[in-house]
Structure 1
Amino acid sequence: MKFLPIAFLLIVIPFGTCAQSDSIATAPGDTTVNAADTLIRYRINGVYLGSIWRDLKYTVARPAHWEKKDFIRLGAVAGVAGILVANDYGIKHFFVHNQTNFMTSVTDQIEPFGNAYSPYLVAGMYVAGVITHDRKLEHGSLMTAKSLIISTAIYATIKTVIKRGRPTYYDSPFDFAAPFSKDPQKKHTSFPSGHSLTVMTVATSLAELYGKDHPWVPWVAYGIAGMTGVTRLYENRHWSSDVWIGLALGHFVTKSVFRHHRELERKKAVAMGF
């Protein structure tokens, strides 16, 4: 049982701890500006689609603008990844040899959060926002969708370069195929975990949108993301380091997208003299 608490703690705990605006135009001669006037709220249109490309460029370029604290965080992520790589083999065999019918029934309910549930959740948020005229919810769903598009594009690119063998097919965590090589059976698509990236992207977005007003949201969202990652280990679909990097990448991309959005709002506020 020694690998279960290690895997859970390393995966879950670190995460526990120009657009269209709906601003109302002011009357001629009225120079009053309030906080609502500086908000940027998206709708599905050309401006929103263009923002996806701009946010992708911003996210990819972020490391060039990192400060000391950012490199410390990178070091922490890399350090945890190194520990997990060293224990990938043992963690795999712990889960393989400790599967039960009860645990399988539990993981079967959690695992879909990484692929089936997340897209439906985002779509449901959008539809509910439109129907109820809740602009924050509608905008939030589009921010989440944008984060998913960008994070998926990045992780799919990484998969084509780092062709790591899945634990389902290979007993060694160090089995790699040549970069960009054909893989019709998808045996070398282990790194990073797409399920983990998807669910963490949505979790981080929900935390960004509602965490300030509802402190319980990040705990629930990140908790579900962590449990989803563990199911990928239990089902022997990924190495533990695949799951960790998938979670970290989804978190980083989403935080970057929301950071860029806040920067745009600040620039708008300055331009309006707020």
Structure 2
Amino acid sequence: MKKLMFCLCFLGLLISQGQSNGSSFNDDKQSLWNDFTYDMGNVFQGVGYAYTRPLYWQNDDFYILGATAGTTLGLYAYDDELRQYFVNHKQDVPNLILDYGWYAGSPQNNYGATGAVYLTGLFTRNEKLRRTGVLLLSSATATGFLQQFTKSVAGRARPQTNLGKNHFKPFGGSAGYRSFPSGHAVLTFTNAHVIAKQFDSWWIKGPIYAIGMTPGLTRIYEEQHWASDVFLSWVLSYFVVESIDKYLDKKYDQKYNSDSKDNLTSLNFTFSGNRLGVVYSF
């Protein structure tokens, strides 16, 4: 919530500063408003696009579905053993990491961060960053609503209830029956995948994915979710992001990691004499 308030204050500051520029501000405000309404339209259309993709699946998509289902069932078979393993080793995990897992996956913190990315792109007139913000917002919205709906329908008991991995109470309502899928895992891995797509190097992608997967793992340590819940949450996030990203290709001219070397997002280390630097290009 604090991040959201900061974004709103930042927006108000920019508007108040611009009001002293007369007609140039009015033109700029109109342009910003046009960009904003266009982007928000793409956010909601992207959500709809992701939800309708199963209607257009081809053979390869069903192979992927089968592989995902098989892996999930494999983890489901060992959920009890995996739960016990994580519980036995919880004391080895620093509290800082467990706390991070909770706060990073909270919806208010997630939307505060993604909103800040989008607003930065909007006010700096950077289409690549705007597009990234739209992808973050639409992906988080799509996965967020989907996981909330699925939790309610499935009604899987959380590990901490000690009712077992096979206990389900569809439309159970209480917090103890909202294990599948993991909202924390969904939101944080969604963000991680969007950010990782900005880079080509796996030396950069790897740590980003590791950070994005950490909250899901901490939720297993905290006995809030089963391993199979978390795995399927990651898969859900991955394919929703991929689907919406494909949709946005038709809506924006600028994109990170474009084929043009001039437009390539990169993080480079530079050495010159006795100087050491880092250059981020986008």
Q: Residue 252 of structure 1 is aligned with which of 239, 244, 253?
A: 239
**How far 1:101 moved relative to its partner?**
6.1
**How far 1:131 moved relative to its partner?**
4.6
Deviation per residue, 1:39-71 (Å, 9 max, x gap): xxx9321x3333344323321221222222222
Deviates more, 1:133-142 or 1:197-206: 133-142
Deviation per residue, 1:202-252 (Å, 9 max, x gap): 1121133x124x554432222112222111111111000110111111111
Distance 2:92 2:172 in 1: 37
Q: Residue 158 of structure 2 is aligned with which of 136, 156, 166?
A: 166
**How far 1:91 moved relative to its partner?**
0.9
Q: Residue 67 of structure 2 is aligned with which of 53, 57, 76?
A: 76
With CA pairs under 8 Å and 6+ residues apart, which has the higher RCO, 1 or 2?
Answer: 1
Q: Residue 204 of structure 1 is aligned with which of 193, 201, 210?
A: 193
Deviates more, 1:100-109 or 1:166-175: 100-109
Distance 2:251 2:127 in 1: 18
Distance 1:199 1:102 in 2: 19
Distance 2:187 2:161 in 1: 23
Normalized against structure 1, the TM-score is what? 0.72
Quick check: 2:154–2:180 contact (8 Å CA) kept in 1? yes
Deviates more, 1:191-200 or 1:60-69: 60-69
**How far 1:165 moved relative to its partner?**
0.6
Matched with 1:114 is 105
Deviates more, 1:215-224 or 1:155-164: 215-224
RMSD (Å) for aligned C-alpha atoms: 2.3
Distance 2:114 2:104 in 1: 12
Distance 1:102 1:172 in 2: 24
**5+ long unaligned stretches in structure 2:** 1-33, 254-282
Q: How many residues are paired up?
A: 219
Task: Write the letter of the residue equivalent to 1:87.
Answer: Y
**How far 1:150 moved relative to its partner?**
1.3
Distance 2:126 2:177 in 1: 43
Distance 1:105 1:202 in 2: 20
Distance 1:102 1:249 in 2: 26
Quick check: 1:175 aligned with 2:163? no
Matches within 5 A, 1:1-274: 43-45=35-37, 47-100=38-91, 102-115=93-106, 117-177=109-169, 179-183=170-174, 186-208=175-197, 210-212=198-200, 214-264=201-251
Distance 2:63 2:252 in 1: 28
Q: Given the superposition, is the C-alpha separation of residues 67 and 229 from structure 1 closer, same or farther in structure 2, using an over 3 Å criterion? A: same
Q: Given the superposition, is the C-alpha separation of residues 221 and 140 from structure 1 closer, same or farther in structure 2, using an over 3 Å criterion? A: same
Distance 1:216 1:121 in 2: 24
Distance 1:145 1:217 in 2: 22
Deviation per residue, 1:141-170 (Å, 9 max, x gap): 122111111111111111111100111112
The share of aligned pairs that are identical, in percent, is 27
Quick check: 1:127–1:138 contact (8 Å CA) kept in 2? yes
Distance 1:252 1:238 in 2: 21
Quick check: 1:206–1:217 contact (8 Å CA) kept in 2? no
Distance 1:180 1:263 in 2: 38
Quick check: 1:43–1:142 contact (8 Å CA) kept in 2? no
Deviates more, 1:137-146 or 1:109-118: 109-118
